[in-house]
Structure formats: structure tokens, C-alpha cells
Amino acid sequence: MHIVVHKAKCQGHARCWAQAPNIFKLDDEGYVLLGDINVAQGDELLASRAVRSCPESALEIDRTSAARFEPAAMQPRAGEA
Amino acid sequence: MTLNQVPDHVPAEMVGDFSLFTSPGMLPTPDGDPQAATACVHAGPPIFYSPFNTRDGRGTWVITRATDQRRVLQDADTFSSHRSIFASALGENWPMIPLELDPPAHGVFRSLLNPLLSPKRVTALEPAVRERAIALIDSIAASGTSCDVMQDFAFPFAVSIFLRLLGLPDHRLHPFVGWANDLLHGDDVKRPAAARTILAFIDELAAMRREEPVDDFMTFIVQAQVESRRLTDEEVRGIGVLVFVAGLDTVAAAIGFDLAFLARHPKEQELLRSEPNRIVLAAEELLRAYPTVQIIRVARKDIDFEGAPIRKGDYVSCATMIANRDPAEFECPDTIDLMREDNRHAAFGYGPHRCLGSHLARREIVIGLEEWLARLPAFRIKEGTAPVAYGGHVFGIENLIVDWS
């Protein structure tokens, strides 16, 4: 799963981070980091729940078919230690 | 000045009779549920004009749908938050910072303050918050089988966390509660008097920290730089006042509404007591059901919004309790379901002014509920008493007397 991060809409509610801190990382001010996110298969439920919790609609699940084939250059961030 | 006069540009058919100040359930009401009483607006249009919808009797447009409130509050270029609410009580005009600054000045101060109240920083404050909750609740448990939640727990808890943030000793607690109460709920004599007292206190504290820096919020503020300069006295005041008015009453009211709900719903109370890991999620639903703030913006230009002719200078109200009961946003919005997921409620507002203290407020609420439920047995509203709840600019609850005999 691929999550589009609309960074300009993020207002630092940090609801995504509260639900899935390993998937959604925050900067020192508490706003989501810039850059879209590839989610590992096992984390998809958690990640989509976090997306639906964003009061600003700053996160979006990319459902286009292209998004399913992740470019090799993008390293998955989900499940990081 | 004539109050309650509908401006000429407002079409008669867009005037509604709902007000957060005067509608049924908004005045102090025994066993009242003012948040639920706002839900009636969802039977009406997405936007209407309420002729009496501020403390001083001004009219506002009322935005009912969550999605429209999001649009208004995300668009600070069109809808300004500069109202000098606090200063105007003194006949002055300066902003509470960052709330009453618009972009781009807003972003400068917001970036300065964000790290002080970020999720990470709040995690570090947690042990102190928990220690304070435990001390208060243990003393309540030791002194009988009944208490007034607001006087004995909610206010002292919220105020003491605030004092700790400012690096002040707990013995200053009692005057603070009085000042906050007078400022937010006092009459035309008490409000300006309290405002002056609070300002004098903030000036004095700032002077003290300039002279002798310690590791606390105010020291940070007086030493901070924005755009390669120190903050002006007015800016230091603006920040100090906002922390004061935003952080005390709201958290105390939230804890009061939450414990009132649990006192009236023994099944839910027992669920959270026996499975405390559910409290974090439940607290979000309680924030959805019992938010306390009406957010007001001022139109900076003429704009037609969902068919309403909003004109420059008009007030636009985004009441969090109304957004949180929007059936287009929440399934069964009038049902309080402590296991509700995907709860993107509006309790802390939307847009760049999202409550700066939201992460601390959340932790205070969760820790307050955790320690209360862990340390006291099943409790209910004391027989013969009725908590008085009210609407208005900041919703609240008083005389919440509970009993566990």
C-alpha cells in the first residue's frame, strides 16, 4: 500500500503517529515528515486506520494500479525499528 | 449600539434561531447536556446566521458541517483569527500568540512554540502529570466516599500541570483557579479585573525569568529569538496569556464531562476500569462527544460560502461540538461509542491554529481517567445532586458531586 502525504495540510494533530508510530514519523515540531509512504503488507490495516483518523485529510491511500508496483528506488519505511 | 440586529446583507431566510448562548440547554442547566443540545442544527441548513452568538451579543454565521468547518479553518487567508479577545476585555488591542496571529507571522511563533508541546516533549512530561493525578486522587480516596470532581480534582489537576510548566510551586494554585474562573465566567466587573491581575502576574514572571533564568517555559520565551531578535514585551504577554486561558478551564471541563459520563454509565465505567488499555481510544470518543470550544473567525474579505453572502468583517462560528455531531462525518453521531475507530473529531480544531496544547491535554485527560478508575471504586452522581452544565464560548460543568459509598 502506498500513502500520499499532503504535507501542507498536516497541522500536527499526530493522530497517525499515535496509532502507528513505526509507519508515520514526526519532525521535532510534531508534524508528519515530508514524503509519501510505502506500507508493508502486514501493516496495511493499521496504516489505513491512521489515514482515516486524520482530522485534516492530509493522508490519502493511493489506490491507482501503478501504486501497487512500488518503484525499486523507494525504500519501504513501514516496520522500521 | 443595538445588539441582535441582523446586518442588511444577510437574507432573512438565512437567519436561524439557534445560539450557543441562548438556545435551550445553553444556560446553566442541572443535568444538562449542552453538547447534545447543539446537534439539532444538523436538521437545518449547512450555514445560517445566528443573531446572538458571542458573549457580547454579536451575530455570527454558523457553519454546521465538519467538512465546511475544515474549509474555513484551513483558510486563514480568508478567515482571520485576530480578534484580541483578551485585550478587548481591557479596552486594548493586541493578539494572544500564536492564536490571534494570521500567517505568515503565525508560522514564526508557532514554530517557536511547537517543540515545547510536541508529542515527544509531552511524553517526557508524563511522569510528572501522573504523579500529580495520583497525589490528588489518593487524597480524595483517603478523605471519604464522595467528592466534587471539579473542585477536588479537575481544576487542581489542570492548574498544577500548568504551574509546573511555568516552574511555579503548587501553593500558588488557589489564586490561579479564581483568576481563571473570573476571567472566563465572570461578569463585566470581574473579567477586566481578572485580566489585569493575570497580566501583572505574567509581566512579573517574565521579569523574574529575565533576571534569573531557570529551565521552564517562561525562561524559554524571554530568551527566545524570532527573526534574529528578542520578543517584545507585548509578544511575551501575548504568549503567556494564551497559555493561561487555553490550558486551564478546557482540560478541567473535559475531565469533568468525561467523569460525569462515566458516573452515569456504569457499564462503560466498568469496561474502562477492567480494561484500562481501552482508555486511550475511549478518550478520543469522549473528546468527540464533549468538546468545549466555539472557534470564531472574522472574514477578511467578501466571500460567498455555500450560498451565504459572507461580508468582510462578519464573524464565522465553527463550533467544535457541532462538527462533532455531523452525521455526514460520523456514523450515529449522537451515540457515544467508546470503541469508535477512525475518529477524526474536531475537538482541537482544524487548520494552522490546531490547539497547540492538544498533545498535553490528551495526556492529562487519559492519565486523569486511568488513575481515577484505578484508584476509586464504582462511582455515580451523588443522590440529590445534579451537575450543572452550560454552553457559551467555552462549555463547562460545575458541582460534579460523585459518590462511591
Q: In chain B, where are the structural domains located?
A: 12-20+32-403
Nearest to A30 among B344, B346, B359 (CB): B359
Burial level of B404, CB count in 10 A (0-12/13-18/19+)? Answer: middle
> How much is the pLDDT for B10?
98
Q: What is the 3-state secondary structure (H, E, C) of chain B?
A: CCCCCCCCCCCHHHECCCCCCCCCCCCCEECCCHHHHHHHHHHCCCEEEECCCCCCCCCEEEECCHHHHHHHHHCCCCEECCCCHHHHCCCCCCCCCCCCCCCCHHHHHHHHHHHHHCHHHHHHHHHHHHHHHHHHHHHHHHCCCEEEHHHHHHHHHHHHHHHHHCCCCHHHHHHHHHHHHHHHHCCCCHHHHHHHHHHHHHHHHHHHHHHCCCCCHHHHHHHCEECCEECCHHHHHHHHHHHHHHHCHHHHHHHHHHHHHHHHCHHHHHHHHHCHHHHHHHHHHHHHHCCCEEEEEEECCCEEECCEEECCCCEEEEEHHHHCCCCCCCCCCCCCCCCCCCCCCCCCCCCCCCCCCHHHHHHHHHHHHHHHHHHCCCCEECCCCCCEEECCCECEEECCEEECC
Decide: helix, strand or coil at residue A59: strand
CB contact under 8 A, A55 and B358: no
Which residues touch A72 (CB under 8 Å, ≥6 apart)? none
Q: How far apart are CA B291 and CA B285, in angstroms?
A: 10
Q: Does B346 touch chain A (CB under 8 A)?
A: yes
Q: What is the pLDDT along chain B (405 residues), one digit of tens a residue?
A: 445 689 999 999 999 999 999 999 999 999 999 999 999 999 999 999 999 999 889 999 999 999 999 999 999 999 999 888 888 888 889 999 999 999 899 999 999 999 999 999 999 999 999 999 999 999 999 999 999 999 999 999 998 898 888 878 777 777 887 888 888 778 889 989 999 999 999 999 999 999 999 988 999 999 999 999 999 999 999 999 898 888 778 999 999 999 999 999 999 999 999 999 999 999 999 999 999 999 999 999 999 999 999 999 999 999 999 999 999 999 999 999 999 999 999 999 999 999 999 999 999 999 999 999 999 999 999 999 999 999 998 999 999 999 999
> How much is the pLDDT for B354?
97
Secondary element (H or E) of residue A48: helix A44-52
> How much is the pLDDT for B126?
95
> How much is the pLDDT for A65?
52
Q: What is the pLDDT along chain A (81 residues), one digit of tens a residue?
A: 999 999 999 999 999 999 999 999 999 999 999 999 999 999 999 999 999 999 999 999 997 755 554 444 444 444 444
Q: Are A29 and B114 in contact (CB under 8 A)?
A: yes
Decide: helix, strand or coil at residue A61: strand
Reported ipTM = 0.91
For chain A, what are the domain ranges? 2-66
Q: How many CB atoms lie within 10 A of CB B189?
A: 9
> How much is the pLDDT for B172?
76
Q: Does B111 touch chain A (CB under 8 A)?
A: yes
Q: Across-strand partners of B303?
A: B310
CB contact under 8 A, B70 and A29: no
Q: How far apart are CA B318 and CA B293, in angstroms?
A: 9
CB contact under 8 A, A11 and B354: yes
> How much is the pLDDT for B89?
82
Nearest to B119 among A9, A11, A14 (CB): A14
Q: How far apart are CA B332 and CA B334, in angstroms?
A: 6
pLDDT digits (tens, 9 = 90+) for B324-378: 999 999 999 999 999 999 999 999 999 999 999 999 999 999 999 999 999 999 9
Q: Are B100 and B85 in contact (CB under 8 A)?
A: yes
Q: Tell me the backbone φ, ψ of residue B293, rounded to 5 degrees.
A: -115, 135
Q: Are B402 and B147 in contact (CB under 8 A)?
A: yes
Fold (topology level) of B12-20+32-403: Cytochrome p450 (1.10.630)
> How much is the pLDDT for B91?
87
> How much is the pLDDT for B45?
97
> How much is the pLDDT for B86?
86
Q: Does B354 touch chain A (CB under 8 A)?
A: yes
Q: How far apart are CA A32 and CA A15, in angstroms?
A: 10
If you classify domain A2-66 with CATH, what class do you get? alpha beta
